[in-house]
A and B are shown apart, each in its own frame.
Chain A
Amino acid sequence: MLSSGFIVLVAGLYLGGLFLLAFLTDQRARRGAARFVGSPVVYTLSLAVYCTSWTFFGAVGSAARNGLEYLTIYLGPTIVLMGWWLLLRKLVRISKAQRITSIADFISARYGKSASISALVTIMALIGITPYIALQLKAVAAGFDALGTPFDVPVLSPERGLFADTGFWVAVCMAAFVVMFGTRNLGADERHPGIVAAIAFESIVKLLSLGAIAVFCVWGLSDGVQDMFAKAVANPRVEPLFGFAEGFEGRWITTLFLAGAAIVCLPRQFQVAVVENADERHLATASWLFPLYLLLISVFVIPIAISGLTVLPDTANPDLFVLTVPLSEGQETLALIAFIGGLSAATSMVIVASIALSIMISNHLVTPLLLRIPSFSGPRAGDFSATLLTIRRCSIVAILTLGFVYYRVTASSNPLASIGLISFAGAAQFLPALVGGIFWQRATHKGALSGLFAGFLVWGYTLLVPSFADAGWAFNDMVAQGPWGIALLKPDALFGFAGWDPLVHGVFWSMTINLTVYLVVSLLTEQSPLESLQSALFVNAFQRGERQVEGVLTGSARTEDLFRLTQRILGPERAFRIFRDYAREHGDGDELPEPDPTLIAHVERQLASSVGAASARTLVSRIVKGETISLDAVIEILDETQQAIRTSRELETKSRELAKTAEELRQANDKLTRLDRMKDDFLSRVSHELRTPMTSIRSFSEILADRPDLDVAESSRFLSIIHHESERLTRLLDEILDLSSMESGQAAWAMVPVDAARVVREALDTMRGLATAHGVTLESILPDGGAPVLADADRLKQVIVNLVSNAIKYNDAAAPAVWVELREDAASGWVTIAVRDNGRGIPPEARDALFAKFSRGWNDLSRARGGSGLGLAISRQIMQQLGGTLEFDAEAEETTFVVQLRRHAGDIAAQ
């Protein structure tokens, strides 16, 4: 048996060493040398403040009583850490941008820097965490008592005086310790490198200590894992540990949810995970390292629980197995190590929780009240930072006092785990407002406030009140019969939901009512401009730069007033540094910076890092004149995301349209270029064509003019040449005019029903002379009856003549022949005239340009035979005008041109 004095000495040395570690770290950090505190491993270990004495002592107790349910307490945070990318990363990002100091500050800042929300959250946290702190006191006190007494004596203390109660001394020691620890100075922001280092160290102590006992249980008390489980299976007391009890589901899901919520919602967890986070990238490491820590702790619990159940008598308190198992085997050193581990777990929790709570109390409860007192809030009031420190010290004492009172009045009847879960359920009430606030932009201040309040009331009624009644301290009648005897409102069977596990019952009602009120009220109410701004900043935390925010608040203030205010709240040294850095950054040199909205926003953020968003808002708005939130700017930020989506969509459509237009333009341009080339071509050809006859006319007329002595026969021959050439010129000009009039659609023709066969016959008659002259056989295949079409007979004849004359003139076959065939297709209603010859044909590359003007270049014969090169162009134009077609039949073996016209139904006019 260890003497009390010895235990106190060891504990005192341990805590002293801890203090020294924190002190030295702070010293080094101030010189910028404490690099290790900024490492992801230290960050992860600081998260392990989650494992309090509830874990250290209580998890074994819980495992012994309820089997594997204790695992949910560690699985919940594991899952949340696995999802760090979704939730924790966003919380950290927002907190850095907004200089958040606590969870109350975070929620209040999201809902328009509301002082009422931060006050409510603070009160809720204070009440919710009190049982949790009581739990730590109870665990350490019970541990201390257990270590100092023989193991088989029940350690539950009967009524003891205040000073005889170990818990009292534990509370006093812890209060003194935390006051010295946490409030020595008001840091640059709410970061405490010394404390982070201390709790990281304590996390290692906890793990090693629990691990040592587990190892002792497996290899000291049993002969390895196999032997341990073999012994355990034989013992009926261990049975709950190997399976699930009937109906475990409700509690399993509930505790899993609560633990997951607790890792972000508990004020101390928010403090270490979010506020003290030095680098967002640390989360990536913590996302797997912290679950690994929890996994190890959970594994260690099992052998200790098994050993406790197999080695110790039924009467032993399972919550103290960690101590009593080694004690029962006479391992006093190991028991002392276990006690130090438990002490570590308890002190780290109490330190961080009470610091987090004291920050909340001083920033959100006391400061807003003090600001109402003129002597504190006037611009010329004294230094505020000393006041702030005093408030925090008093808050810490008050928090521990409350915890101690709870511990005294509820005695020590409840198992550790059940006390802790009540606190978890209280903290979980923050979840809707917290998570809703960063994902749902529509959520309003009134919605959050009423949801929090409703959830808190129901939590107090369904969970806290029955715990008081259980302890026999208050509300006995209310819990037994319901308020005013209304059984339907009984705290543990609300609305007649009896027979549920009390925890499941309380969590179910408080969370559903909290969430419903939050959602419904948010939908029914509107946001103020500041709220809209903040909600946009929170929800779109990853999508904006900080500079867009500034300039939203417009107003004017004197730089001197801003400086004096900063000096009062943050102290002269820091105020000086803030303004100097700002001036340098904005290129003002050593001058005082201009009091523009950017400076005002900057000052407000700096103040917020010390007194919280709501109080900073109040302070700044006191000295800023004519402050308004530019609604346009707010709307702009609000719409930013949608705007971006809309703009990008519009851009996409625009660019698609542009691409289409560009393509059309390109095609049009190609066409124009082609037309232009054709026009140039045409002009050059026309001038060329005109030039030949002109030249001969000019030269012959010159001869005639110069030589009057020319004989008559000679001169008349020259004159006839001049005449012939002029005729050719006239004909060419006529054709050009003809073509252009047709192309412009000016030609007025007599469209009458005519017999196409007769027109063909007439055309062939005209051509017979030419055919004979060229030695070409001209044959025709015409139907007996007429082929009536609607056309201008002369024009149609012109086309046929042109085609036949081409066929005759350019036919260089040995036995040249031309065939003209007229067919009538009754079914389709077309009259087809085909002109065929056995000449050399038209080369494929020339076919495209066949119907273009002056396009006879493929055939060197053409020039020699005096064609104008316009014949086919004119013919095609005529056929188009007549409503028919003229095509070159590329399929046919011989050179074939095909003319088609619609058959006319009516009579043929007399010709």
Chain B
Amino acid sequence: MRIIIGVADMKVSSQAEAELITYSLGSCLGVVVYDPLVRVGGLLHFMLPESQIDPEKARRNPWMFADTGIPFLFKEAYKYGADKGRMIVKVAGGSQIMDDQGFFNIGKRNYAAMRKIFWRNNVLIQAEDVGGMINRTVRLELSSGRVWLKTSGEGEREL
């Protein structure tokens, strides 16, 4: 069973036969968490670094922003029995367009905001594929915890 995560969206599941997938990560970041003991996994596809840009939107859709979406993802995984100490974290996305002056460098800002949250909360990233100018698709198999990364125009590889 394939569970699709849209832009500014998140899903957590413990169904062994399920896989979580998010398409079209441009400057957005995909954050995958997985607890191998209880086989609970989650995938967040956030768009922007900080919710202060639109607090009302953040209330309705916390998954749009790093600072509201990431804590939400972890808390939701805990509800399913995941444990922070066991959780494996992988991230992908954060691309940018060619832009000397940084008007469009949301990808970099997304990554920085995420790192700050992880650093404050002692979360280590086990694997990542970030930056550059490519579109990415990320897929988590809940039975095995394997994470697959597809770059547009190329094949799929394990992250």
Q: Do A and B bind each other?
A: no
B interface list, Cβ under 8 A from A:
none
